Structure 1
Amino acid sequence: MISKITIDGKEYKTTLKGVTARLYREQFRSDLLVDMNNAQKNLVQAIAENMESKKFAQGEIGDLMLSAIGETFLTQLAWACIAGELLLTNKPVPTYVALTDNIEDYVGFIQQCCLLYDSAIFSSQPTVESEDTEEPKKKVKRTSQKSLSQV
């Protein structure tokens, strides 16, 4: 997942951990992973419908994402990811209303929210990293076997 977003020229670090899910649940009375799953289903359905009707163009993915997922969920996800990082680093956490009410470039903020969502859903990095507590495994040299016709 991307580790920061920029809002009105100010960089905010983000995180998607247990604290993020807890803050989201407390603030919005909904489960983050359930909402992410529903958003993903809506987006996949919207893409499929647009592909079938040949209306889908690469430049329209942002508009499609916004209409399928919704501005509210995207901004709530961004707040929770920012708030989680701030809480973990013992910094003051603005309320959702305080954060969103003070945004000057709201369109730019929504674009950053889309990038954050995309990164959270399609990130190739694990959300839980394993600890290296086991001894490294020895590499086994493999040799090719002769086929039956060569024997």
Structure 2
Amino acid sequence: MSSDIKVIKLPADFARWDEPLALILRAFAYMDGLIDPPSSAQRLTGDSLREKARQETGFLAMRDNEVVGCIFAAEHSAHFYVGKLAVEPGLQGKKIGRRLMESVEALARATGKPVLELQARIELTDNQAAFGRLGFIETERTAHPGYNRPTSVTMRKTLS
């Protein structure tokens, strides 16, 4: 199934921001009412996603001309922070997310960054397990501002 999917670097002239935005909202919808605080995905707009792409490197998973996955990577001094990994809900489990993550790994290697970092919400143990299968390990638990309990798990992967 994933053989008909192509992963591409987000083009600089990309103009169809409604598509990855809608994808992210669909992929993150199951979190509504499950995580606290709510996902920052709920505050995304086409304009804010465009701005995110100006500041970060994005990749799209495409089936024909349809956006079926995306991921963003923010470059830091010693690592890339991975965020907004989203795969069309009906296509999850078909290694599209893995292929998107591999694109970020290749970017990190090409720029000499030996580490990827991400955060998963404390309640999303399935996500934490999935990232663990991709080689990420938990490094700390943090709280969003205003919370006196951990709300996120920071996970890192050292690239070989």
Structure (1/2) with the larger helix percentage: 1
Structure (1/2) with the larger strand percentage: 2
TM-score, length basis structure 2: 0.24
TM-score, length basis structure 1: 0.25
More contact order relative to length (CA 8 Å, sep ≥ 6): 1
Larger Rg: 1
